[in-house]
Amino acid sequence: MKVSFLVSYFLLALLAFGFQSDKREFKIIDYPQFESLTKEKSEKIRIFNFWATWCAPCVKEMPYFQKVQEEDTSLKLYFISMDDGRKPERVTSFMEKRNINSPVYLLNDVDYNKWIDKVDPSWSGAIPATLFIKPDGSKFFHEGEVDEKELKTMISQLK
Amino acid sequence: MKKLSLLLLSFAFIAIGSMVNGQDSQGFKIGDKASDFNLKTTDGNMVSLNSLDGAKGAIVIFSCNTCPYVVAYEDRMIDLHNKYAAKGYPVIAINSNDAKVSPGDSFEKMQERAKDKGFTFPYAYDQSQEVIKAYGGTRTPHVYLLQKEGNDFVVKYIGAIDNNYQDASAVTERYVEDAISAIMEGKPIANQTTKAIGCTIKWTKAE
């Protein structure tokens, strides 16, 4: 009886894991984890877009970022959510509904004044905002909403 | 001579360009004299800095109806006003969002919000966005703590209310309260500027 329970539990776990690996990438991180993410080596231009599910201009510009990354293999896109870390389901259900395939990290660190300047000194804290990191580690930061054309112009200037 | 004037002209263009683009780098800095305003409030009155009776300063907060960070701070804005108005530092909340871009931030919706939440402080409408442009506010909520010196209102602190929007009981740094205490005790303000994640200002779009 116990064994069959264990086996079914194991099978369930396996099933869940199977679905999980198939699923979109979502993680809750703190600022040091975000910083190490930005410091990883990459041959691509990495784009970190700061957004939140409740932020209308953010939600509007997200498809442009997804599209641009799909068209250009030299880019790697991350969506950094500023949503409430106590309610991650808001983000995961948004990802499903909007078909967000890029990795999403919920940066759950509300002591904002401690880290906003570290992302970029020119950032006032308003979202949307986007950090671009070139393969050589150099950075470019933009605060405010972009349309597809503006985004492409920014990327071409980074190349 | 021609070359020089061309050079000067191009500098002028660069200067104008950066003024237009650099909305967030413009505005008042610590120590600047804040400009006065005369804005209509949700209770049908007008509010200006110089009309504040017996004020030693003011806690000017660029706010709105629609931003979740503002909503999270509304009770704390009421508390700030209730605690400091009598001491000479009333809260003045100002909504500068364009109602066409953000319909939830119309004057009527402001009146509803003020009534529902029972705002004890004036909630004013900066329809022309001239006030927020002069101050250099970039997000909501965005606090400018002013201290009256003679007839001037001098900017003493710019930034967030405290360091935890999610949970008032988990706050470890009360930036605005600490700044007012420092002013009242004649001590230097430890954090003169702070940053926080906030909602963008919904600027009026050119027709």
> Tens of pLDDT along chain A (159 residues)?
555 555 555 555 544 444 444 467 999 999 999 999 999 999 999 999 999 999 999 999 999 999 999 999 999 999 999 999 999 999 999 999 999 999 999 999 999 999 999 999 999 999 999 999 999 999 999 999 999 999 999 999 999
For residues B14 and B187, the model is more confident at B187
Answer yes or no: are the C-beta atoms of B140 and B198 closer than 8 Å.
yes
* CATH number for the domain formed by residue range(s) A25-158: 3.40.30.10
Residue B59, domain member (yes or no): yes
CATH number for the domain that contains residue B182: 3.40.30.10
State whether ipTM is beyond 0.85.
no
Give me the number of domains chain B comprises.
Answer: 1
Residue B151, domain member (yes or no): yes
Chain B nearest-CA residue for A85 = B166
Domain ranges for chain A? 25-158
Q: Which of B65, B100, B200 to mutate to test the interface with A (most CBs of A within 10 A)?
A: B200
pLDDT of amino acid B26:
80
pLDDT of amino acid A22:
47
pLDDT of amino acid B206:
83
Chain A nearest-CA residue for B141 = A126
- Report residue B194 as tokens: 């702070």
Residue B69, domain member (yes or no): yes
Residue B87, domain member (yes or no): yes
**pLDDT one-digit tens code per residue, B150-185:** 999 999 999 999 999 999 999 999 999 999 999 999
Residue B207, domain member (yes or no): no
Residue B177, domain member (yes or no): yes
Residue B206, domain member (yes or no): no
pLDDT of amino acid B16:
40
Cβ–Cβ gap A143/B24 under 8 Å: yes
Write out chain B residues lying below 8 Å of A150, CB-based.
none
Closest approach of chain A CAs to the CA of B159, in angstroms? 9
pTM of this prediction? 0.85
